[in-house]
Structures are given as C-alpha cells and as structure tokens.
Amino acid sequence: MKFLALIFIVLIALLQYPSWYGKGGWLKVWGLDQEVKAARQTNRELQNRNTILEAEVNDLKQGLDAIEERARSELGMIKQDEIFFQISKSNHQKKP
C-alpha cells in the first residue's frame, strides 16, 4: 500500500512539473507578467513626458512669450533699449 502511494506521489509530481517549470509554466507566466507591469509603468512615464513636451512644442509654436523667455534664460538675450545689470558676488573677504 505504501509503495502504491509512493508511485502516485511520483506520478503527480511528474505531471505537475511541466505546469510549473515547462515552456508555458506558471513561473514563466509570472515572470512575464512582472515584465509587462514594468513595461506599462515605463510607458506611462514616457507618455507623461511626451505630453509635457507636446505642450511645450505647442507653446513655442503659438506664443512669443515662451520664445522670449527661453532666449532670456538660455541665451542671455535682452530687448532693445533695455539695460542689463549683472551683480557678481566677490569671494574675497576683508581681514580685520
């Protein structure tokens, strides 16, 4: 009787092996599911970035204010008849 039970346990284990470790086994499906979740998260982040960039492109195409702001901040440009003051901090300290 014990021998028969042992044979059944071995047969059940052999039948279960492909469903856990085989080509389409549960572990592989679980791993692929984790990869899909990570890819969806990456896609959401990239979609948010694309939305922000699209809004910036539309703003640059339609509004001169955005172009002027970029020219001032990135290129240091000033308007005609505008006075530019630059204040620099000195690292030298007077000794008493």
Delimit the domains of the chain by residue range.
Answer: 25-68
Contact 25, 18 (CB under 8 A): yes
pLDDT, tens digit (0-9, with 9 covering 90-100), for 56-94: 888 778 877 777 887 888 887 888 888 877 778 777 666
* SS3 category, 15: helix
Instruction: Say yes or no to pLDDT of 96 above 60.
Output: no
Contact 43, 51 (CB under 8 A): no
The token pair at 16 is 């279960």
CA angle at 34 for the pair 28 and 39, rounded to the nearest 5°: 125
Position 34 confidence tier, pLDDT thresholds 50, 70, 90: very high
